[in-house]
Amino acid sequence: MVEILSSPLFGITLSIVAFKIGLWISQKVKNPIANPLIIAMIIVVATLKVFDIPHEYFEEGASFILMFLAPVTAVLALTIYRQRAVLMASFFPVVIGTLVGSIAAMGSVLVLSRLLGLNEAIIASLLPKSVTTAVAIALSEQMGGLPALTIASTVITGLGGNILAPFMIKAFRVKDPVAQGVAIGCCSHALGTTKAMEIGEVQGAMSSISISLSVIWTVLLVPLFL
């Protein structure tokens, strides 16, 4: 039994099955709160906890899935290419929008962290939460942050954008698809972008390019916030 659990196939199989169950529940419930990613995470955590399975066993397979993060992110370039005419027509607003969004994302973290009296290590861990996970971890480590906290905050930020994006668009009456995409990609990286693609192809393309621009702005500006 131990040999099966310690095999990479265990983590891979559990992840796939949990996500498929999450998709099924999401399709049945038809509510944004029933997010398949959240459901999958709950199933994985519950399985490991109930059966007292060491987390290291799950990581053996999960690490293989993590390897696909970069290639999958690169595939977003195809969506950008298809909407290149829209991008060129709105290039300057997109650049300025991502700059303002990056400043707002890091500025809000800094202000709230100071008000709550958090130490520098925690602040460094939370500052890059709105960019893609790989970059966020690298920035956090360079600034003396805690990678585990950075991963958690980045995932929570992405899931929050994925769930709340449609509500926020309606609440603030954002009609322009370019603005919708830029806002989603700038604040909630790839997880939010998956929701942007569901909303529309233009939104998905603008959200994809916003991820790249937000990474650039964050890398350049994050030292100024510490």
Span 65-90, mean pLDDT? 73
- For the entire predicted model, the pTM comes to 0.79
Span 133-147, mean pLDDT? 88
Span 179-204, mean pLDDT? 88
Q: What was the pLDDT predicted at 31?
A: 76
What amino acid is encoded at 196 in this protein?
A
Are 192 and 207 in contact by the 8 Å Cβ rule? The answer is: yes
DSSP 198-212: HH-HHHHHHHHHHHH
Span 178-193, mean pLDDT? 89
Neighbours of 56 (CB within 10 A): 10
Per-residue pLDDT tens digits for 42-69: 999 999 898 888 878 777 777 777 677 6
Q: How far apart are CA 222 and CA 57, in angstroms?
A: 35
Q: For residue 144, what is the enclosing H or E element?
A: none
Q: How far apart are CA 156 and CA 163, in angstroms?
A: 10
Span 20-32, mean pLDDT? 86
Q: What was the pLDDT predicted at 2?
A: 56
Q: Is residue 103 predicted with pLDDT exceeding 90?
A: yes
Query: Taking the domains of the chain in order of start, what are their residue ranges?
Result: 2-67, 73-225
Q: What was the pLDDT predicted at 73?
A: 64
Q: Is the dihedral of CA 30, 31, 34, 35 positive or negative?
A: positive
Pull the structure tokens for residue 169: 């668009």
